[in-house]
A = this chain, B = another copy of it.
Amino acid sequence: MAETQLLDIKEIVRDSFDEQEVEQLGVKLSQLEPEEIAVALEAMPLEQRISTWQSLHPDEQIHALSYMRDDARENIFKQLEAPELSVLVERMDVDDLIEMLDELPAAVYQEACSKLDATDKEWLATALAYTDEQCGRYADHDVLTIRNNAKIRDAIRLFKKLNEDAEYHDALMVVDRTGRYVGMLLSISLLGQPSHLPIVEFIDDEAPIVDGEMDLDQGSDIVARSGYTALAVIDEEGKLLGRLSIGEALENVRRSLESQFMHTAGLDETEDLFAPVMNSAKRRAVWLGINLLTAFLASWTIGLFEATLQQVVALAVLMPIVASMGGIAGSQTLTLIIRGLALGQITPQTYWTLLRKELGVGLINGVLWAAVIAVVTYFWFNDLIIGTVIGLAIVINILVAAASGVVIPVLLEKVKIDPALSGSVILTTITDVIGFFVFLGLGSLLLLP
């Protein structure tokens, strides 16, 4: 039985810090799946990462790299000398080169490409004709194809040639004379069949097909739902480009959801846990700068009411409550809608139902918490009007937040801006500015003599 369950990432990382253990680390790691090695390498600071990675067999090195995040992988490449990198890249196959295109130094990449044979050069050109968000770019060329006029014995011969590490290869892709995809040939359908029969009557032509121009997320969903372990990826003429397996689909689903999560904090999904400080600082600075603009806008709103604040300092004390309740309520709605958009569940027919529902939820919670806050405030400052002012401001701000939580992400998606990335900044700006304006405005009206 395999040992995967017993060796965990924490143990591997611990060993990488221990001089006595580090020698055997290569042996231990080679018992793991490349996905696991990649996760373990990403969990190490750069120094340990490079020495651990170097303890791997060259083929394992490449495998692990192909499963790592872009940034973590680039941070390995950067620590290699040019000759070392060249030797490594020469061992890569064309799928690896496509995957690592953006992280490899241009010169190294060009050199490796020039050494490819004609078939591989053609694969490469075909893949690069698609964008890095399309299925065509990532179609796996490690695909077993068979002509539709072949016999069962040919198919069996192909299956027998599969190497031990091959994953999700329980079917052959059937093509016609011109390379057009015809269907799949499942290993199960051939069991117990006489080997001289033509395969044609065993072809499964019911399997969904992935279009090369399809978005990678959509293609991955189709594979995931199809129940097949891999589907054919075809070009516009119906020619087989390669395949998209359930393993890759799972990886894509994971990355896409992880990036949604990371985007809410203005981070990129590829961000390396142990990126050099300067790189990290640079990337995050932009997000802080954008948020600073919105904070200045909020401050400017408050500045409009300087005179009021000077006379009723309690308003200054209570400001964060108004802003915070609006922000939290709004982000609940926003998060729900962003998930819905990602799943394709938000449709024109249901906008109004959603808006009404979220406004309803906002009204109930707005009134409930406004009452609580008004009472607490009354006892705190012993002033009924301040209680009324903050209560009203809370209700209004939570309603505005609910509406914004629905409208902002829907509009952002319409103009093709990622709502997970920009939604929360815009929402917070609105709830801050409106919250402060309503609260201090009402305060000026009702509290000033």
Contacts and interface: CB of A to CB of B under 8 A. Distances in A.
Contacts of A302: 316-317, 319-320
A442 interface: no
A160 to B, nearest CB: 7
A223 to B, nearest CB: 9
B303 A365 contact: no
A357 B275 CA distance: 8
Interface stretch (A103-111, A118-126, A261-269): A261-269
Interface string A267-310: 10001011101101100110111011011101100110010011
Contact of A208 (B5, B153, B246, B350): B5
Given A159-B188, A209-B1, A260-B261, A353 B45 contact: yes
A349 interface: yes
A446 interface: no
A415 interface: no
A285 B366 CA distance: 9
A354 B246 CA distance: 34
A279 to B, nearest CB: 9
A442 to B, nearest CB: 17
A376 B296 contact: yes
A112 to B, nearest CB: 27
A160 B277 contact: no
A263 to B, nearest CB: 9
A132 interface: no
A258 interface: yes
- Copies of this chain in its oligomeric complex: 2
Most buried by B among A303, A309, A324: A324
A339 interface: yes
Interface stretch (A50-58, A84-92, A94-102, A225-233): A225-233
Interface in A318-356: 318-321, 323-325, 328-329, 331-332, 334-336, 339-340, 343-350, 353-354
A335 B265 contact: yes
A385 interface: no
A379 interface: no
Given A13-B347, A253-B250, A288 B329 contact: yes
B14 A347 contact: yes
Given A317-B302, A364-B281, A365-B288, A247 B224 contact: yes
Most buried by B among A42, A262, A291, A313: A313
Interface of A: 1-2, 4-5, 8-10, 13-14, 16-17, 33, 35-36, 39, 42-45, 153, 156, 159-160, 162, 165, 167-170, 186-188, 190-192, 195, 205-209, 211, 214, 222, 224-227, 229, 246-247, 249-250, 253-254, 257-258, 260-262, 264-267, 271, 273-275, 277-278, 280-281, 284-285, 287-289, 291-292, 294-296, 298-299, 302-303, 306, 309-310, 313-314, 316-321, 323-325, 328-329, 331-332, 334-336, 339-340, 343-350, 353-354, 357, 360-361, 364-365, 368-369, 372-373, 376, 428, 432, 436
21 contacts: A33-B226, A45-B353, A156-B191, A160-B191, A160-B192, A170-B188, A170-B229, A257-B257, A261-B339, A273-B336, A274-B353, A277-B357, A277-B360, A277-B361, A280-B357, A281-B365, A284-B365, A287-B328, A299-B319, A302-B317, A306-B314
